[in-house]
Chain A
């Protein structure tokens, strides 16, 4: 079927949120990991920050990333009328 402009726009918005969240994921993983030594000089909740991030902080960020994506997409689906109704 021919996609309407609204459909194209929905997909573009999906790509944007995906890119943003992926960027946060990249920072929480690789930028933080790369700089773990330097971060360890900072103390956070009694932890050296570099250790804290890899053991807990980044993990919490991952959970939040996925939660935000699910909520945002639910709203976006409704807004662009591509949602699945009351299924589930």
Chain B
């Protein structure tokens, strides 16, 4: 500590990042000018992609290190403010950046479960974990479990749980990286994945936690500028002030009025009726598919032959031939089509009021929706307070007090984005209700025409009732559209769209960095160094970690290329598993001296098992594979399995600990040690 001055270091950091932010704004400005002078959109996309990835790699190279404490915990000198930014970037993934506003747009109030869950969890981090883990002051979360409960069994369970949750989560991030690079540069999905991966690896491999920390700070700055710019613009357009977050209440009211208007509009009713009729017809066909298939085919054939017999005009005959050719080849294909059409029931429903919590047809349905809302909030919060890649960040601050302050900054920086997302959803909805609905198909707003052409899964508009006017029921929107298209909706130049893509990329890369590091550290530090070869030299440990990082990254990219299904469920599963496995032993480890080894072993296993069991028996993906299906407990969805896993884990640790001998004196002293920031003799 003698040669190193923390305050000089802080000043230096502030200076560096101020310059960096200024430089980035200048870069934006230059690109904006280049666009005015005629630079093509593809080139703007390339510039953003390569300039930012090169920047992150550059920080990685500058921060390269082979020292253990630099590599694992960034030398423990990351000031609270900067650790807060790094945690923010680490925390906010592609799902938060791109998906969140879309979810809120589509599901209104009920989407706020994620907003609350992913912020409120930091209260638990601050009150129960961060300061104590910092005082403990080792390198990983299994480290703490191993030291507190003794023996390798607890550590092993910790390693497995850490790897499972982080791996599930990292796959979702790499998926996001591939999606963004391919969308904005035209590169293929696979190539996009590897460009992004290259950026991640150079950074985390060379400098471990040290490089990842300083890159994440840089990434936070980019992602927050990228998120705020279009929202502020749209806010000025609709509310008249540049801080729409505080003023969009009025816009929300106007959205409510427009919703009522839409639900009463006869043209809208007409479109919805068409959907309902189609869905009903599909339902009827599905009751006896064989007969319906034969009947449908016979009817078309009969129609064609009668047209031919009556010498109808040629175009009518071609139309009838086309209709016959388009008819499903066999019964199975027809079934598939009908099942799809059955889904139109959803689009036949009236618009749900945006601000209305827990909609449902009766009181019981509403209560169930409320229970599931709170279930998600619960799992996301306790999962937040148990995800190893986040908790690990609080090992890197210079002191316990800095760790406490650092949680404050973390949540503050996360809050900036999360309180903006609901605002963006409302503003975008208002814009679409007032500008898109009612416009004619011949002259759609420019952004709508463009996006409908680029990607029908994000936006498709079709004139169902053939009146030439857009009804809201005729518009189908994919959630990711909201953030991606906002710059164009707000009428901003393309350079801002590029900025948003760069922000999404920063969000995905930073989270992937942190997760990969967690996995590699669990393997190299906890498994190899602590359990297999405790005499390994420091160089060897760091080298092994770097090799593992590459192996893990490549296998994650491989899993990603298989495009495993429902990302939202995967993410939810990671949170539920983390909450069930880690939260009980970590918190009881600090707050209850009597908690012992056997309590932790059986408790963690019980929590994890209950959580896994519930998911396996209720989630359609597994039950379709042959796992016997069971009824939901209290109607709670499989994503909220942690609601059962966590209490079971807590209770089991409690009971088993009391039935087995108390931990030894050394362990009790460790608990006392972590409870006081600086325990001096009185």
Chain A residues near B (Cβ < 8 Å): 1, 3-4, 6-7, 10-11, 14, 18, 21-22, 25, 28-30, 33-34, 36-37, 40, 44-48, 50-52, 54-56, 58-60, 62-63, 65-67, 69-70, 73-74, 77, 81-85, 87-88
How far is B677's CA from A54's CA once the two chains are assembled, in angstroms? 34
Which listed residue (A10, A54, A66, A84) contacts B116, Cβ 8 A? A54
How far is B250's CA from A78's CA once the two chains are assembled, in angstroms? 47
CB pair A59 B677 closer than 8 Å: no
Given known contacts A25-B120, A70-B405, A50 and B357 CB-to-CB distance under 8 angstroms: yes
How far is B378's CA from A33's CA once the two chains are assembled, in angstroms? 11
Q: Tally inter-chain residue pairs, CB-CB below 8 A.
A: 162
CB pair B402 A69 closer than 8 Å: no
Residue of chain B at shortest CB distance from A39: B357
Q: How far is the CB of B236 from chain A (nearest CB, A)?
A: 17
Residue of chain B at shortest CB distance from A15: B591
Q: How far is the CB of B374 from chain A (nearest CB, A)?
A: 5
CB pair B109 A51 closer than 8 Å: yes
How far is B357's CA from A87's CA once the two chains are assembled, in angstroms? 47
Q: B314 at the A/B interface (Cβ < 8 Å)?
A: no
CB pair B120 A62 closer than 8 Å: yes
CB pair A87 B399 closer than 8 Å: yes
Residue of chain B at shortest CB distance from A4: B682
Neighbouring A residues of B400 by C-beta, 8 Å: 84
How far is B250's CA from A18's CA once the two chains are assembled, in angstroms? 37
Can you report 14 residue pairs joining A to B where beta carbons are below 8 Å apart?
A30-B377, A34-B374, A48-B355, A56-B422, A58-B119, A59-B119, A59-B418, A63-B412, A66-B404, A69-B127, A70-B401, A83-B401, A83-B677, A84-B401
Q: How far is the CB of A43 from chain B (nearest CB, A)?
A: 8
Given known contacts A29-B116, A47-B252, A52-B249, A88 and B401 CB-to-CB distance under 8 angstroms: yes
Which listed residue (B246, B358, B401) contacts A45, Cβ 8 A? B246
What does the 1/0 interface line of B408-424 toward A look like (CB < 8 Å)?
10011001001100110
Residue of chain B at shortest CB distance from A81: B680
Chain B residues near A (Cβ < 8 Å): 6, 79-80, 109, 112, 115-116, 119-120, 122-124, 126-128, 131, 245-247, 249-250, 252-253, 355-358, 366, 370, 373-374, 377, 381, 397-402, 404-405, 407-408, 411-412, 415, 418-419, 422-423, 669, 672, 675-682
How far is B419's CA from A63's CA once the two chains are assembled, in angstroms? 12
Q: How far is the CB of A57 from chain B (nearest CB, A)?
A: 10
CB pair A88 B79 closer than 8 Å: yes
How far is B250's CA from A19's CA once the two chains are assembled, in angstroms? 37
CB pair B669 A65 closer than 8 Å: no
The secondary structure that dominates the A interface is helix
Q: How far is the CB of B371 from chain A (nearest CB, A)?
A: 9
Given known contacts A6-B682, A87-B398, A21 and B377 CB-to-CB distance under 8 angstroms: no
CB pair B401 A74 closer than 8 Å: yes
CB pair B678 A37 closer than 8 Å: no
CB pair B374 A33 closer than 8 Å: yes
How far is B245's CA from A45's CA once the two chains are assembled, in angstroms? 11
Neighbouring A residues of B411 by C-beta, 8 Å: 62-63, 66
Neighbouring A residues of B412 by C-beta, 8 Å: 63
Given known contacts A33-B373, A51-B109, A84-B677, A56 and B245 CB-to-CB distance under 8 angstroms: yes
9 closest cross-chain pairs (CB), A and B:
A46-B249, A88-B398, A36-B357, A47-B249, A55-B422, A54-B112, A70-B404, A4-B682, A51-B355
Q: How far is the CB of A58 from chain B (nearest CB, A)?
A: 6
Given known contacts A46-B250, A69-B127, A85 and B115 CB-to-CB distance under 8 angstroms: no
CB pair A1 B681 closer than 8 Å: yes
CB pair A70 B123 closer than 8 Å: no
How far is B126's CA from A22's CA once the two chains are assembled, in angstroms? 11
Neighbouring A residues of B408 by C-beta, 8 Å: 63, 66-67, 70
Residue of chain B at shortest CB distance from A10: B676
Neighbouring B residues of A25 by C-beta, 8 Å: 120, 123-124, 127
Residue of chain A at shortest CB distance from B10: A88
Given known contacts A29-B377, A47-B252, A50-B357, A59 and B404 CB-to-CB distance under 8 angstroms: no
Which of A70, A73, A77 counts the most chain B CB atoms within 10 A? A70
Neighbouring A residues of B675 by C-beta, 8 Å: 11, 14
CB pair A85 B407 closer than 8 Å: no
Q: How far is the CB of B413 from chain A (nearest CB, A)?
A: 10
Q: How far is the CB of B328 from chain A (nearest CB, A)?
A: 45
Q: How far is the CB of B133 from chain A (nearest CB, A)?
A: 15
How far is B412's CA from A60's CA once the two chains are assembled, in angstroms? 9
Q: How far is the CB of B89 from chain A (nearest CB, A)?
A: 18
CB pair B123 A88 closer than 8 Å: no
Neighbouring B residues of A69 by C-beta, 8 Å: 126-127, 404
Neighbouring A residues of B252 by C-beta, 8 Å: 46-48, 51
